[in-house]
Structure 1
Amino acid sequence: MRAVVFAYHNVGDRCLRVLHARGVDVALVITHRDRPDENIWFRRVADTATELGVPFIFGEDPADPSVEQAVRDARPDVIFSFYYRAMIPAGVLALAPGGAFNMHGSLLPKYRGRVPVNWAVLHGETETGATLHVMEARPDAGDIVDQTAVPILPDDTAGEVFEKVTVAAEQTLWRALPAMMAGQTPRRPNRLAEGSYYSGRKPEDGRIDWNRPAAEVYNLIRAVAPPYPGAFTELAGQRFIVAQARRPLPGAAPMPAGTPAGLQVRDGQVVGVCGDGGLIIVTQLLAQDGTAVTPQALAGHLHTEQSNEENR
Structure 2
Amino acid sequence: MSKKLAGYGLLCSIILLLTLLICVGTGPVSLPIGQIARILLRQIPILGQGISIDWSPSSEQIVLNVRLPRIVLGMLVGASLALAGAAFQGVLRNPLADPFTLGVSSGSSLGAAVLIFFGWQYSLIGALTLPAVAFFSGVITLWIVLWLAKEKGKIPTESLILSGVVMQSFLGAVVAFLTAMSKKTINEILYWTLGSLSLRGWSYTAILFPYVIVGLVVLWSYARRLNLLALGEREASHSGLDVERTKFIVLVVATLLTATAVSVSGVIGFVGLVVPHMIRMVTGPDYRLIVPLSAICGGIFMMWSDLAARMVLAPTEIPLGIITAFLGAPFFAYLLCRNKKQRMGVNS
TM-score normalised by L of structure 1: 0.26
Q: Higher relative contact order by CA 8 Å / sep ≥ 6: 1 or 2?
A: 2
| Pair member with larger Rg | 1
TM-score normalised by L of structure 2: 0.24
Higher strand content, 1 or 2: 1
